Amino acid sequence: MPIVVDIDVLLAKRKMSVGELAERVGITPANLAVLKNGRAKAVRFATLAALCEALECQPGDLLRWEAGPPADAGGTPAANAANAPDAADAMDA
C-alpha cells in the first residue's frame, strides 16, 4: 500500500508502549495494531488527532506516501474511469 504508517518510529522515540498509546488515544490495542501494521483501510480524523496529541506530533509524522502500485490495481474507480472510453471514442466507433 502506498500509505505507510510510522507509529512504530514515534513509539520508539517517545519510549512508549502500544498499550500505553492505545489507552491515551482511547482505542483498543488490537485496533492500534491494525493501524500500526498498515492493515487499516481508513482512520478517523478524531483518532488521528488523538494520536498526534498523545505522541506530540503532526499527521505527517505518522503518515507518509510511498510510490508503488495501488493495493487494488485495476479495480479502483479511478483506474476504471481512466480505461473507459469517453464519449468522443464512442462516437468514432
The three-state (H, E, C) secondary structure of 5-41, written as one string = ECHHHHHHHHCCCHHHHHHHHCCCHHHHHHHHCCCCC
Torsion of CA 53, 59, 62, 67, to 10 degrees: 170
Examine the pLDDT at 83 and tell me if it is beyond 80.
no
Residue 90: pLDDT band (50, 70, 90) is very low
- pLDDT at res. 2: 87
Q: Mind listing the pLDDT tens digit for each residue in 38-75?
A: 999 999 999 999 999 999 999 999 999 998 876 565 55
**Alpha carbons 90 and 46: distance in angstroms, whole number:** 45
Query: Which fold would CATH assign to domain 3-68?
Result: 434 Repressor (Amino-terminal Domain) (1.10.260)
End-to-end CA distance of the chain: 37
Spell out the domain ranges in the chain. Answer: 3-68
Average pLDDT, the chain: 83
For the cut 80, the answer to whether the pLDDT of residue 91 exceeds it is no
Q: Which percentage of the chain shows pLDDT scores above 70?
A: 73
Residue with cell 487499516: 40
User: What angle do helix axes 45-55 and 7-14 make, rounded to 10 degrees?
Assistant: 30
